[in-house]
Structure 1
Amino acid sequence: MGISRKKPREPEADPFYDMLFNMLIAFVFCFVIALLAFNPKFAKTGDIPAHAEFIITMTWPDLNPNDLDTWVENPAGQVVWFRNRDAGLMHLDRDDRGMVNDVIIVNGKEVVNPLNQEVVTIRGFEAGEYTVNVHYYDSKDRQPVQASVSVVKVNPRAEVIFYGTVDLERKGDERTAVRFNLGPNGEVLGINTLPKTLVERTEK
């Protein structure tokens, strides 16, 4: 009679490691969904944003339905805005319309991107003054909106050169968030918040 040998029992999987693995999968999934939601153009074309020297970001409260726009003027008087996304060395990388187009379908379910954010990049050095304005383009609830604006110098390391807020009371309001002067090598020579109109002059 042969001797029956039982196959050694395989060790049970550690539930802690299973949980970590599942969390990792969920994180990667959420990251991909967020990337597609924040930048549909990237999802369609695979385009990678070009090198930037300065990044201007304008945000307003999550899930706010109203449409705010970023306007940036360079030293040559060129203005970048949603109808002119390229001007000189500036580019409007993201135009956000509030809650419009913020819902995408994933696996048959609606996924809402709550973030309201616009991004302008400056991709080189042009000496002179830049003006950053916020325009209350359209209102869905007729309520005031507060916008936050930051300007980050990217190279040689990330440095916030400005952060502030502007209050817009009603549709049509325009506020200057910041004006900053650059030297020929991108050095920041001065910052102020003196008002300057861009919208009315540009749309004439």
Structure 2
Amino acid sequence: MAKAKGSVSTAAPTGGRGMRAPRKRAGVTPVQQPLVPENPTGGIDLEQYVPAYLTFTATKLASGAAAVYRKYYGVGIEVWRVLVMLALEEKVSVNMVCKLIGMDKGSVSRCFKTMYEKGFITFSVDPDDGRVRYATLTPAGRAKHDEIKAVALERQRVLLSCLSDAEAQTFMGLLLRVHANLPNVEKATQAYIKEKGPKAITST
């Protein structure tokens, strides 16, 4: 993943402030010094609040991709995400899509219906459980995936062009670790609410 000439600046994005790394204390490594997301006003400091920038980035990326895919390829971002799964797996169920992508069952069912009507998928029934249907990619679905794949990879290339090859690999590895840690976040959230109550206020 070579760094492109004229790569994207690492300066703060227009209209907002970039996320600055926390200051290091003497003898304390970044791992030992966690982000402190509160500012003096008592509000959350967005420059130190990771979920905010994850959301900002994901939302803007998805919005841009959705506009391009719908205009030039006639499909929405959810259809593209399922096409990506089907290009990797022989067949997928609604529950499989929900688990990997995080879409709700209603959205996945509607997405499957749209894809079926467009001729992108066919359905088969699980021989061990007649209630489970699997979607399988058709030649037309594979062709649509291949059409969009090139622009999707170009968007990723430019997104990461502000990083070196090593940084990009590290970034991807960190994203995978953070994603795998999401179940622990939900468990900790429930434990916190159980202990503190849903209206708990932390004094500073």
TM-score (norm 2): 0.21
Larger helix percent? 2
Larger strand percent? 1
Larger radius of gyration: 1
